[in-house]
Amino acid sequence: MKTRVTEILGIKYPIMQGGMQVLGEPGLASAVSEAGGLGTINAATFPDYDEFREAIREVKRRTDKPFCVNISLIPDVPHDTYFNQLEIMVEEGAHIVETAGANPRDFVPFFKDHGFTWIHKAPTVKHALKGQELGADIVTVVGYEVGGHPGADELCGNVLVHHAAQALDIPVLAAGGYVDGQGLIAALALGAEGITMGTRFVATKECCCHENFKQWIVGANEKDTKIIQRSIHNMMRAANNAAARKCLEMEAQGATLQELMTVIAGRIGRECYKTGDTDGGIFPVGQAIGLIEDIPSCADLLESIMKEAEETRARIANI
């Protein structure tokens, strides 16, 4: 299947693994890329520059296919941190970047000077158009169903993807709730040229989290997520577990960011991914959990998505 997304990225299937803090590491990213999609490591997953550099090298040892690096821009983090990460990408020959979070404007000249392919993630058509205006090659639009951070406007993917595809000249990737071939064809029908998945890739053999988290996803339905962190203007869709409920309770009582950090801090979630404590920390997942019933390898997953996409296309053609 060819779209402008597969052409620009040099990949076989129009399927991207979006950046995932802690879980976006070389094992998963290389498995996705090797299977024909676009795998992604997160720069912020690695504690220092040396480990980030080593992670890029590890992906390249495991696959010679294209892969991406997610840089999630946080306003309080000095620009130098990101520029240092980008320099390492150049030195190590990693030239596909996914940005998310704060305004990427200051980094665009670097992307252009170094021949990067730039995918920008946006929660509204306005932000998507801004990405296009700044020079993004592809925009990923994320609907409210999404695992991780949905936009504050709470826009559902169906309208958002359709409108973004109409409004933009550059190709759109649809994100939020996609897990299978039917979803891929639906996204293409709305005008997107591929899908970005996060939650689906957590429940794969190669994802580094403890098996308990994968089984939790398989056992959950689409009602089992909560939107937390509204009070600190950093909304997050996460598993409805004890940590998320504690966070909501504290928010209702007017807790400060510092107080909330005792529950939502990334280091707690990271530890839980290792120990298998699915209640102990915040576990970002999207409503897609309602559609996930197995834990395949990335290769089997992508093959089954593409097979189902072809079947869906044929079924629709007969209507």
**What is the binding site for ligand FMN (CB under 6 A)?**
18-21, 23, 42, 70, 72, 100, 121, 142, 145-148, 175-178, 196-200, 202, 284-286, 288
**What b/e string do you get for 167-188 counting C-beta neighbours within 10 Å, with b at 16 or more?**
ebebbbbbbbbbbbbbbbbbbb
Tokens found for residue 265:
């801090």
- Give the nearer residue to ligand FMN in terms of CB position, either 14 or 19: 19
- Least separation in angstroms between residue 128's CB and ligand FMN is 14
* CA 28 to chain centroid: 12
The burial of 93, by beta-carbon neighbours within 10 Å (0-12 exposed, 13-18 middle, 19 or more buried), is given as exposed
- Give the nearer residue to ligand FMN in terms of CB position, either 74 or 254: 74
- Give the nearer residue to ligand FMN in terms of CB position, either 110 or 201: 201
- Give the nearer residue to ligand FMN in terms of CB position, either 221 or 256: 221
Alpha carbon separation from 107 to 55, 119, 263, 297 (Å, rounded)? 22, 13, 32, 35
- Give the nearer residue to ligand FMN in terms of CB position, either 196 or 278: 196
Backbone angles phi, psi at 243, to 5 degrees: -65, -45
Helix, strand or coil, per DSSP, at residue 262: helix
- Least separation in angstroms between residue 189's CB and ligand FMN is 18
- Least separation in angstroms between residue 21's CB and ligand FMN is 3
- Least separation in angstroms between residue 195's CB and ligand FMN is 8
Q: Beta strand 67-73 with 195-197: parallel, antiparallel or unpaired?
A: unpaired
- Least separation in angstroms between residue 198's CB and ligand FMN is 2
- Give the nearer residue to ligand FMN in terms of CB position, either 256 or 277: 277
For ligand FMN, the nearest residue by Cβ is: 198
Q: What is the dihedral of CA 116, 117, 122, 126, to 10 degrees?
A: 90
- Least separation in angstroms between residue 157's CB and ligand FMN is 9
